[in-house]
């Protein structure tokens, strides 16, 4: 049996500041023929930039995201197979898709209201 899971909180105040961030590969592309060039090459492939590396951390989950989880292992079905219990996020589980969609919309509206308050 599968469940519909809604991500309700990814706030840095909950858990740890980096609880919802994962390392990501970042490719930097530079013009092949200087500033005016229309062709680009990956910086890592250019001898001038060899050894150049970037480290970025990006969110794993987003508020309002709906996941379909396998009951056996708690992972999302299909790729990338994320497991919410591994991260510092809050989720709610639903057996009915319509209820999950309604909750997703509600938490997204709450998140947008928070953003509007901070402007």
Tell me the pLDDT band of 13, cut-offs 50, 70 and 90.
Answer: low
Q: Do 97 and 4 touch, CB atoms closer than 8 A?
A: yes
pLDDT value at 71 more than 60: yes
Q: Which residue has the tokens 């706030």?
A: 11
- State the pLDDT at residue 14: 53
* pLDDT mean over 79-103: 91
User: pLDDT (tens digit, 9 = 90+) per residue, 24-63?
Assistant: 776 666 666 665 656 666 666 666 665 566 677 788 899 9
Q: Is the pTM value of this prediction over 0.75?
A: no
Residue 23, helix vs strand vs coil? strand
């Amino acid at each position: 049996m599968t469940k519909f899971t809604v991500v309700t909180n990814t706030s840095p105040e909950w858990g740890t500041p980096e609880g919802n961030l994962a390392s990501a590969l970042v490719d930097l592309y530079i013009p092949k023929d200087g500033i005016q060039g229309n062709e680009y090459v990956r910086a890592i492939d250019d001898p001038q930039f060899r050894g150049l590396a970037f480290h970025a951390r990006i969110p794993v989950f987003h508020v309002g995201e709906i996941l379909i989880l396998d009951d056996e292992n708690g992972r999302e079905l299909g790729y990338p197979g994320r497991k919410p219990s591994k991260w510092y996020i809050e989720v709610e589980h639903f057996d009915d898709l319509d209820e999950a969609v309604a909750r997703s919309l509600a938490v997204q509206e709450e998140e947008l209201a928070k953003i509007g308050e901070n402007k």
